[in-house]
A = this chain, B = another copy of it.
Amino acid sequence: MSRYSHLYTPLAAAAKPSPVNRILAGLKPDAIHLSGGFPDPDYFPREQIKEITNYIMDNEAHVALQYGPSSGYPKLREHIVDLANAKHQKATLDNILLVNGSTEAFDLMCKVFINPGDHIIIEEPSYSGAVASFRAFGCRMLPVPVDDAGIMPEMVEKALAEKRAAGIQVKFMYILPNYQNPAGVTLSLERRRALLEIAKKYGVLIFEDDPYIEFRYEGEELPTIKSLDDSGLVVYTTTFSKTFAPGTRIGWIVADAELVKCLSLAESLTSLMGSPFTQALAAEFSRRGYMREHIELSKGLYKQRKDAMLAALDQYMPDGVTWTKPQGGYFLWLTAPESRIDGIEMLKGAVAAGVAYRPGPAFYVDDSKGLNQARLCFSTVDAERITEGIRRFAAVIKELMV
């Protein structure tokens, strides 16, 4: 019983470590981390950041170190107009809002669109951070399964039709089109078009979250849903966390000008603004071509690591275990046969063997699901460690499977 209980909201009262996190806390310091979605820190662009900081201090310090507009650093917003239009998103300055990482985009979307109890469509599985943020705002999440071509439009429409019949306006569908987190799958072009038609039919927004778009290792880039839209119903978000550095905390939104105004007001109440300083760095990093170079470097690295992970899975995993084969991104999604393994024991075994994965439950609205599943990240450690990590994990699964 806490002495603050009489003051708490439900969010605060629910702040308890999960059983899964308690197990993960037992990891040894030298464990192989295939868990977090982190870029490899050995390749951060240190020298470029020194160079750019000198430039910003000599030329823009009076704005880069000052308070700025809630919509974000003007020079970076201008540059993002070009980035957005290179993806055919038909953007002007009024369509761009900078945020403190895409996570803040979840918060702002809820502030602008979610009254407690409002409904949204969410992929199953979906990104754990988004699920947690939406839950904190009292969203009712309607999960729609994802297969190898992404979320299934006919099931989206079924859910929307049911809610419409009950007089309920669903607010948005949260869609990760490329190399989905956690499933690693890519939404087909046909389904992108289908979702858009459904959005128009039901007057529902599509909240398109696309952090990995620059990290395709095979095949052709597909158009973003935003670029296919002429209805103003798509709110697109992406981030510099993978193309520059997570520590700069910069995401952005591309949306209809009216929506950007509302989201910007919400930003002014949430954090006043993102960091003009790191935003100034990102503008210069991209403008000088360093971002493009950094993406190419990272892509080469991560493609090789993805291939190493797939090869190790092929080599070591016992029959009955399945995994997705991503065309890009940071992750793949492994499923051990639910009827033949205890998910908690699988996690305990992995921790004891010195390998970490992200357990499935955090990616589900109903977090009793997914204990037999694992998100495996191939971006953070090198191919050799990945192979060793998968070898250890496979041995644990083989041992436990009945």
Chain A contacts to B: CB under 8 angstroms: 2-4, 6-12, 15, 36, 38-39, 41-42, 44, 46-47, 49-50, 53-54, 57-58, 61-68, 100-101, 103-104, 106-107, 111-116, 129, 132-133, 136, 169, 171-172, 203, 205, 232, 241, 245-249, 256, 258-259, 261-262, 265-266, 268-278, 280
Q: Is the CB of B246 within 8 A of A8?
A: no
Residues from chain B with a CB closer than 8 A to the CB of A113 are 7-9, 12
Residues from chain B with a CB closer than 8 A to the CB of A4 are 256, 258-259
Of the residues B6, B100, B171, contact of A7 by C-beta under 8 Å:
B171
Q: Is the CB of B269 within 8 A of A112?
A: no
By Cβ-Cβ distance, the 3 closest A-B pairs, closest first, are: A41-B62, A65-B245, A65-B247
Of the residues B44, B61, B107, B116, contact of A270 by C-beta under 8 Å:
B107
With both beta carbons as reference points, the residue of chain B lying nearest to A249 in the complex is identified as B275
Q: Is the CB of B271 within 8 A of A6?
A: no
With both beta carbons as reference points, the residue of chain B lying nearest to A279 in the complex is identified as B247
If A171-B7, A247-B276 touch, whether A50 touches B57 (CB-CB below 8 Å) is yes
Can you give 11 A-B contacts (C-beta < 8 A)?
Answer: A7-B205, A9-B114, A10-B115, A11-B262, A50-B57, A65-B248, A66-B245, A66-B247, A68-B247, A107-B270, A249-B272
Q: Is the CB of A6 within 8 A of B203?
A: yes
